[in-house]
Amino acid sequence: MASRPSTRVVADLPLTPPTGMRDHLPEAARVRASLASRLLGLFQRYGYERVMTPAFEYADVLERGLELDRRDVLRFVEPETGEVALLRPDITPQIARIVATRLSDRPAPWRLCYHGTMLRRRRGRARKSRALSQAGVECVGFGGLGADLEVIGLAAEACALVGLPGVRVELGQVGLGRLLLAEVPEAARAPVAEALASKDAHALEARLREAKVPARQRRRVLGLVDLYGERPVLGRARRRYKDAESRAALDELARVWDGLAERGLEPQLGVDLGELRGHAYYTGVSFALLAEGPGEPLGGGGRYDRLLGRFGRPAPATGFGLDVGHVLWALEAAGRPWRPSRPLRLAELGAPAELVAGLRDAGVEVAALPESVGDRALGFARAWGYDGVLGAGELRRASDGKRRALEDGVGGVLALRDWLAEAHAPKGAKG
Amino acid sequence: MASRPSTRVVADLPLTPPTGMRDHLPEAARVRASLASRLLGLFQRYGYERVMTPAFEYADVLERGLELDRRDVLRFVEPETGEVALLRPDITPQIARIVATRLSDRPAPWRLCYHGTMLRRRRGRARKSRALSQAGVECVGFGGLGADLEVIGLAAEACALVGLPGVRVELGQVGLGRLLLAEVPEAARAPVAEALASKDAHALEARLREAKVPARQRRRVLGLVDLYGERPVLGRARRRYKDAESRAALDELARVWDGLAERGLEPQLGVDLGELRGHAYYTGVSFALLAEGPGEPLGGGGRYDRLLGRFGRPAPATGFGLDVGHVLWALEAAGRPWRPSRPLRLAELGAPAELVAGLRDAGVEVAALPESVGDRALGFARAWGYDGVLGAGELRRASDGKRRALEDGVGGVLALRDWLAEAHAPKGAKG
């Protein structure tokens, strides 16, 4: 209702978004939207169709697809039903739900893509939440090598398309490590996986001894600790693990490596058989995309052939997701910040309405200033990144305030585009 | 960690999103994204720059800007801080927060736009949640008639741009009604506003008598009940309410009407001085956008000159938001469903890799089928809305299975675009 609230003391709470949440201001939001749109465009050209899923789901539904540590997600009680809901930490289980329910009558393969925000709570002492914006694909009902190659190749192509052609694609195969971890008592598996991932043979041996793992099994797990690097790692692993299941897992990985090499990706490839952390739903070859900058993978993915079955419709599946913020960070670090092409932008004060309308129709961004701005129009244009100020009969360049008389309507303004940009360039700045 | 979960009984909970949440499947998601992008493009041509804000906020922050009935929002405890957070029911207070904090050093006016999901809980017996996707603008630091005309004109132009040129723009002025409601005891204001909004003079009088409003004040409130319709309503109101404050409110509204009429919008205009419900933060002229279909306004907005002050930086402001789902609904109802232009889409089985890559570079969407699909390729193409199946040396039309031999690589395929579309048209379907 229309009553006024009591006046509040403004300083009683910092006016910030919740921990881990971020606002994206004008320039940053434009950059982010443009990058995501470029990625989705690529995914769509491979036949991945966009879907949109809710920001939260019933915990009972999402937890079919995620083996979640309850501390890792943000949970709350949904007031209508009293059911526990959670802000999605991952979109893949939602896609699995959609394929298994509303799209189950369509023929395989299902190729779906998405872009959305999810909330992860990071492990570690602080266990901070972080909202991340992820763009990714899921390829369901298409088993085997072909789909693995398509999805990993597409991930590398996506990075190259936006300016990271050298991104490292580090392949993993959870199959092998899981067989070995199964020989470790359950309570010790997490610390063992941590020690393995950090390639710390000393710590790994200590963890295994603490867990009273017998010598033979200990040696088998310890054997994983140096299995990272290039293609020869796969040969070493093959000589070390000769049982049929390990062989099958390693052969699958070798076929993926060779298929990617055939596509010219070998210079970017790496392998790490000791990386067993991360999404628990992977069942086969997985991969992480690495580049300088964010200090975490840009994204990753892999095969998850058992997830769909948990939603009642078994099907092989593979996919990947890219953290849009991390990709932007890596582009900055590589000296190739993402700069979407942007239209001409003009502040306007006193220009004819018809000219303004014509410019907007031509795609120019024109912000009308109130008369009260007066002499401060140039300052406004500079502060907000406008190229110039359009007045009655003249155009002023934002960078240096120089004027040009206007003739020929819309065409005349568009013809001044280069002149407007000139003073931004080093040469113009000197002149 | 890598342990497998216990097998769950699949039928124990319906695999649906929470109440009021929706999945958007491939075609619907494409339509929705395309409409939102068209709207944002228009807003940007008026100088509104896109920002992105978090899906939830601390209640203490959002509640500065919203006078919320606690039952109307979805609240939960944010685990890091123990603070109460809420899923945003509105983006405007977030924009106010941004302007008052992170953008406060930029010169006025601030023109910002957004597209995002928010969660509203509807009043009524069921009080159901509904996730809605809203695209809108906020114009801050630009007071007076100019900004009102820009924002209302832009709302009408946005509707026209997407195919609703005749949308009704119903103007309101909360100022007048609030003055009168102030004479009604607080507890009775909500039922009085309800009776007013439904133009039920009988119920209105009953509510006023129950609240023991004296006869003179009762007549003043009752006088609002028939003040809706066209321009002459403003003259009638002026004769009925002669105090200075009422006059000022009515004069402001008359200037907005006349300014919009000057822009050719008069055939779409209406006025309703008895509508006092809705967003409590409006302070002046407000408006609702009405069209057949959704049974609710497509969107609306208005002037909210006191909101920014609650975030520590007083400034006049106005804006509006459009419910993307309602706009799509109204377009359907008007027989003009939103159909984004879509690229050529081909399923592929056995075509040369170079041709496929070339087509994708040319913007064609090509989905590679696994060999196992074999004869079912045409069925796949039809079920997923592909135009044809690209094979080794031939292209088959999805609609009727007719074949064409392929020559001339990418250009040859693109030249068959019209042939592919032909059978969709009534004439082709007969032949």
Give B235 to chain A, closest Cα distance, Å. 25
pLDDT at A329 over 80: yes
Q: How many structural domains are present in chain A? A: 2
Q: Length of chain B in residues, anyone?
A: 431
Claim to verify: residue A34 and residue A162 sit in the same structural domain: yes
Among candidate residues B403, B355, B354, B358, the one with its CA nearest the CA of residue B378: B403
Restricting to A residues 256-275, those with a Cβ less than 8 Å away from any Cβ of B are: none
A355 and A318 in one domain?
Answer: no
CA A139 to chain centre: 17
List CB contacts (< 8 A) between B345 and chain A.
Answer: 47
Structural domain ending residue among the three candidates A302, A333, A364: A333
Minimum mean pLDDT range among A17-26, A251-260, B253-262: A17-26
Of B333, B353, B383, the last residue of a domain is: B333
Q: Do A55 and B80 touch (CB under 8 A)?
A: no
**CATH code of residue B134:** 3.30.930.10
Tell me whether residue A340 is in a domain. no
Strand order in the sheet with B228-229: B49-50, B110-121, B129-140, B317-323, B299-303, B285-290, B168-173, B269-272, B228-229
Domain that holds residue B351: 345-430
| Minimum-distance CB partner of A367 among B8, B101, B111 | B111
Closest C-alpha among A286, A263, A253, A231 to residue A160: A263
B162 and B70 in a common domain: yes
Give yes or no for residue B32 having a pLDDT over 80. yes
| Residue B10 counted as domain residue | no
Say whether B22 and A142 touch across the interface (CB within 8 A): no
Q: What pLDDT band is residue B429 in, cutting at 50, 70 and 90?
A: very low
Using the beta-carbon criterion (under 8 Å), do A50 and B94 form an inter-chain contact?
A: no
Count of CB atoms within 10 A of residue A117's CB? 20
Same domain, residue pair A143 and A88: yes
B131 in contact with chain A, both atoms CB, cutoff 8 A: yes
Of A5, A85, A280, the CB nearest to B1: A280
Predicted pLDDT of residue B178? 84
In this predicted structure, what is the pLDDT of residue B369?
A: 96
Percent of chain B at pLDDT > 70 equals 90
Q: Is residue A206 part of a domain?
A: no
**Least CB–CB distance from B367: residue in A46, A57, A76:** A46
Asked if A108 and A156 sit in the same domain, the reply is yes
Q: Does A316 touch chain B (CB under 8 A)?
A: no
The 3-class secondary structure across B269-304, one letter per residue, is EEEECCCCCCCCCCCCEEEEEECCCCCCCCEEEEEC
- The pLDDT tens digits of the residues spanning A262-315 come to 999 999 999 999 888 765 788 999 999 999 999 999 999 999 999 999 999 999
Of A387-391, B54-58, B235-239, B427-431, minimum mean pLDDT range: B427-431
A58 near B CB under 8 A: yes
Q: Which two tokens stand for residue B287?
A: 């408006």
Is residue A154 one of the residues assigned to a domain? yes
A88 and A140 co-located in one domain: yes
Is the ipTM higher than 0.85? The answer is yes
pLDDT value of position B121: 73
pLDDT at A69 over 60: yes
Contact A343, A135 (CB under 8 A): no
Q: How confident is the model at residue A123 (pLDDT cuts 50, 70, 90)?
A: low
Decide if B39 touches A, using CB distance below 8 A.
no
| A-B Cβ pairs (cutoff 8 Å, strict) | 286
Judgement on whether residues B329 and B369 belong to the same structural domain of the protein: no
Residues of A whose CB is below 8 A from B363: 45
Position B52 pLDDT exceeds 70? yes
Are residues B401 and B306 part of one domain?
A: no
Same-domain pairing of B140 and B118: yes
**B139-182 pLDDT tens trace:** 999 988 999 999 999 999 999 999 999 999 999 998 888 888 88
pLDDT above 80 for A19 = no
Q: B102 CB contacts (<8 Å, ≥6 apart)?
A: A23, A25
* Residue found by looking up tokens 């890598």 in the block: B2
Give yes or no: residues B295 and B422 share one domain: no
Whether A46 and B18 lie within 8 Å, measured CB to CB: no
- Mean pLDDT score, A208-225: 94
If asked whether residues B421 and B313 sit together in one domain, one would say: no
Return the half-sphere exposure (C-beta side, CA atoms, 13 A cut-off) of residue B222: 16
In a domain, B180, yes or no: no
Q: How would residue B428 be classed by pLDDT, with cut points 50, 70 and 90?
A: very low
Q: Is residue B129 part of a domain?
A: yes
Dihedral angle, C-alpha A83, A87, A89, A92, nearest 10 °? 70
- Examine the domain organization and report whether A301 and A402 are in the same domain: no
| A372 inside domain | yes
Task: Please give the pLDDT value at position B18.
Answer: 82
* Confidence tier at B122 by pLDDT (50, 70, 90): low
Mean per-residue pLDDT over chain B, rounded: 90
Quote the pLDDT of residue B424: 59
Residue at which a domain ends, from B333, B361, B385: B333
CATH number for the domain harbouring residue A361: 3.40.50.800
- On whether residue B416 sits in a domain, the answer given is yes
Q: State whether B25 and A147 contact (CB < 8 Å).
A: no
pLDDT, tens digit (0-9, with 9 covering 90-100), for B327-380: 999 999 999 999 998 899 999 999 999 999 999 999 999 999 999 999 999 999
